[in-house]
Structure 1
């Protein structure tokens, strides 16, 4: 029985493969469309894609084009080819503005760009694009059932973008390039006033100014210590009991001791 089962399975697989190859080489469009849809619905996306690639140009301008184009874009999406799924879903949404599948296509297109967003340490061009696409979806479909998830994705991407900017400024601090670090933290605080990295940005700007002051020529020390004192006040105004407040207060004590010499 086991041998019979294996033989039958082999026959079915071989028959299925040979039928697929036959349809793939067939010049008729209808059999390709029928098999492509069957394979798509069965989750056999790689095989379906080869057929869709052949028939998509043939269906442009025809009544079936909307259905074919959606399947085509969604096949790329399921294969995790997000560059092409993003492009094809955008194309679908523009080509069929009244389609009942438009919102779904719009959202999957935006999510395609979300999946393309790299880790924070790399260039964030795709992250910026994903934020824009998701925000456009949110604005277009404010009552969508996907709204909560879309907002969460945007928040995640914004945090990634903020982390990139914060880490760049922090690297200047660690390299002891304090002037550039202070300027970078200033820009960060202006660009991302509500960031989760705000406390650390305020603290490291203060610490950078303190370290710049104590390492300066004598003639510059007092002025730079006073500016560090101003940065301390900015930090402590919002984070008197913050994560880094104890360290900030230790530096403050040293600043006050040094300034007493000038008084």
Structure 2
């Protein structure tokens, strides 16, 4: 038993020493003042796809090789190493820095593209803030402007399309959120109409156009329905106008029957509002109370609130 334990301990010791020896060899090179040897080792490690260790050496060498002929090749591989390690934020900075420093380099086009592509990879999910998405679109468009005939320009245009689709998703979900919040506060229904219209101005070819146009009708209808009678006629008429616009724009839409139904309900809402007002006018006190209520309610529905993120 003791002999077995001794053999196992000896084996572990040999393995540990071997690992320590390898580490010691890398540390010797890292701490060495022989920059040529360090450069050679960094390139060797990159070739072996040992990017973590290669990065350590590239970071050290990037300062020491500044102004030297080898700096161009070194900084190119330094940026690629960051990309391989998925540090897209630092990689895009290094790619841009390279392209600005070496505009005539054989790697300049690739680095400008990779810098923009790293922005694309850093673009967040539609539910999050889209600042990086806008920056990615700008960077990719700038690449196309620089190299309009490049094969990479085709890919850049494709990625711009994907990023715009993401922004459309964000715009639609944000506008829809206003409608969903209408059940808690009626003013959000009016906010939904405005947000949906603005989203279509920002994205004229948005793929959700039919859903958004229907949601505009539903939002306006809900806003009118939850208003006091004195304002219902005007607000239901707006819903009817939106329904007519929908029918004209999307005559073959799968939502056409729902749009027509909302128009019919709006017309019924107008009739009911007129009847309530007519009944109220027969009683002066009741009518004044109705107007007072409506004025107070309307004063609270003029502010468009920002929905919860």
Same fold (TM over 0.5): yes
Residues 9 and 37 of structure 1: CA distance in aligned 2, closer, same or farther (over 3 Å): farther
The reply to whether residue 82 of structure 1 matches residue 88 of structure 2 is yes
Give the TM-score taking structure 2 as reference length: 0.78
The reply to whether residue 257 of structure 1 matches residue 268 of structure 2 is yes
> Which residue, 238, 244, 251 being the options, matches 1:227?
238
2:259 & 2:127 partners in 1: Cα distance? 28
The reply to whether residue 35 of structure 1 matches residue 41 of structure 2 is yes
The equivalent of 1:207 in structure 2 is 218
The equivalent of 1:139 in structure 2 is 145
1:169 & 1:113 partners in 2: Cα distance? 26
Give the TM-score taking structure 1 as reference length: 0.91
The equivalent of 2:156 in structure 1 is 150
2:117 & 2:206 partners in 1: Cα distance? 23
Q: Which shows bigger deviation, 130-139 or 140-149?
A: 140-149
The equivalent of 2:64 in structure 1 is 58
Hey, which bits of structure 1, 4+ residues long, moved more than 6 A? 8-14
Q: SS in structure 2 opposite 1:73?
A: helix
Residues 67 and 243 of structure 1: CA distance in aligned 2, closer, same or farther (over 3 Å): farther
Bigger-Rg structure (1/2): 2
- Consecutive unaligned residues of structure 1, counting only runs of 5 or more, are 1-7
1:29 & 1:55 partners in 2: Cα distance? 7
2:53 & 2:164 partners in 1: Cα distance? 37
1:178 & 1:257 partners in 2: Cα distance? 20
> Which residue, 43, 48, 55 being the options, matches 2:54?
48
The equivalent of 1:248 in structure 2 is 259
Residues 82 and 243 of structure 1: CA distance in aligned 2, closer, same or farther (over 3 Å): farther
* Offset of residue 254 of structure 1: 1.6
Q: SS in structure 2 opposite 1:216?
A: coil
Residues 64-85 of structure 1: per-residue CA shift (max 9 Å, x gap): 1111110111100000000000
Q: Which shows bigger deviation, 121-130 or 190-199?
A: 190-199
Q: Following superposition of structure 1 onto structure 2, how do residues 73-222 of structure 1 map, counting pairs within 5 Å?
A: 73-176=79-182, 177-222=188-233
Equivalences, count: 258
Would the aligned equivalents of 2:217 and 2:262 in 1 still touch at CA under 8 Å? no
* Offset of residue 148 of structure 1: 2.7
Cα RMSD for the two superposed structures? 2.2
- Consecutive unaligned residues of structure 2, counting only runs of 5 or more, are 1-13, 183-187, 276-309
Residues 23-77 of structure 1: per-residue CA shift (max 9 Å, x gap): 1111121111000011112211001000001110011111111111101111000
Would the aligned equivalents of 1:188 and 1:201 in 2 still touch at CA under 8 Å? no
Q: SS in structure 2 opposite 1:146?
A: helix
The equivalent of 1:5 in structure 2 is none
Q: SS in structure 1 opposite 2:49?
A: coil
Q: Following superposition of structure 1 onto structure 2, how do residues 2-13 of structure 1 map, counting pairs within 5 Å?
A: none
1:60 & 1:234 partners in 2: Cα distance? 64
Residues 12 and 105 of structure 1: CA distance in aligned 2, closer, same or farther (over 3 Å): farther
